[in-house]
Structure 1
Amino acid sequence: MKSRGVSNTGPRNVQLGQVVESFRKQGVMRLLGGEITKLRHGLVEITAKNRPGFSQQDGFVHAGIMATLADNCAGYATLSRLPSGSRVLAVEFKLNFIRPGIGELIRGRARVRRLGKTLSVCEVYVEMRQEGKWVACAWGSETVYCIRAKED
């Protein structure tokens, strides 16, 4: 589990740093071999290599794998906008599967669209790398509960 594509400049380093630290502690991302490939204020991308253990009965990437990536991206996109020491939990998500998951890499991406005091709303995407290009497989939205740390 790695973190690439992390922006280390600017006043928001602490917020981005808490995302990287939380990601390192997460067993499910370690299990999937996920790595942060893009991390910006309000935007997270996580990529993993597709492998046989991700497949459902017909050989496509299982919907649960796609949902897990989308969920993690939304949580971390939200966390990147919160004060250091904050935490997040999923409240609800809706994921529309528009194409079977076929390809060598799987990538989830989320962007915060609305950040309130206690809830964040994110748009989420899942793509597969097929023959050298990224192809959309799922998109949707997630509502995230924000457990804000007290700001100094």
Structure 2
Amino acid sequence: MSDTFDITDMSGLELMQAVLNGDIPGAPIARTLGFAPYLVEEGKVIFRGTPTEGATNPHGGVHGGWYGTLLDSCMACAVWTKVPAGSTYTTLEYKVNIIRPIKLGTQIEAIGVTDHAGRSTGIAHGEIRGVDDGKLYATGSTTCIIMKMK
């Protein structure tokens, strides 16, 4: 893994591909919550993960924040793949619709797809699906701001 890199010289797609390939570190929250990039294409990012006991609420179910974090990550990173070198992004808002509970130990895919990426905003939608059962567990949408780095 490289010790130094200049993100201002890389597009969002190049950065996400470098994370996928292990050339640069991914977001620490991904390690904390047990998910990692599985596929990176222009306009599409898939994370795979499996909720563990550390992602549960007091009732023992997978916390809604786990769904939200995975959807925020895949959708915003899908937008990031459309951001040119010299620019960055951040989430302005996102919405999550939980459809059914995910059982602990169920491997899921969080799939984010860009709907629009312009000079100042990006819009994407996402879904969480079971890898083995194909069930739809949650959907989401996001709006991101795209900014020039100084």
TM-score, scaled to structure 1: 0.78
Residues in 2 aligned to 1:51 and 1:88: alpha-carbon distance in whole angstroms: 30
5+ long unaligned stretches in structure 1: 1-12
Following TM superposition, by how much is the alpha carbon of 1:107 offset from its aligned partner in structure 2, in angstroms? Answer: 2.2
Indicate the SS of the match to 1:53.
helix
Aligned residue in 1 for 2:4:
none
Residues in 2 aligned to 1:84 and 1:33: alpha-carbon distance in whole angstroms: 29
Q: Deviations over 1:16-72 (max 9, x none)?
A: 221245672411112123211111100001111221111123332111011001111
TM-score, scaled to structure 2: 0.79
Aligned residue in 2 for 1:17:
14
Residues in 2 aligned to 1:137 and 1:25: alpha-carbon distance in whole angstroms: 25
Following TM superposition, by how much is the alpha carbon of 1:86 offset from its aligned partner in structure 2, in angstroms? Answer: 2.5
Indicate the SS of the match to 1:134.
coil
Query: Are 1:128 and 2:130 an aligned pair?
Result: yes
Runs of 4+ in 1 over 6 A off after TM superposition: none
Residues in 1 aligned to 2:30 and 2:134: alpha-carbon distance in whole angstroms: 21
Contact 1:62 1:101 in 2 (8 A): no
**RMSD value over aligned CA atoms?**
2.2
Contact 1:44 1:109 in 2 (8 A): yes
Give the number of aligned pairs: 136
Q: What code does the residue aligned with 2:57 have?
A: Q
1:112 to 111, 114, 137: 114
Aligned residue in 1 for 2:43:
42
Identity across the alignment (%) = 24
More divergent stretch after superposition (84-93 vs 22-31): 22-31
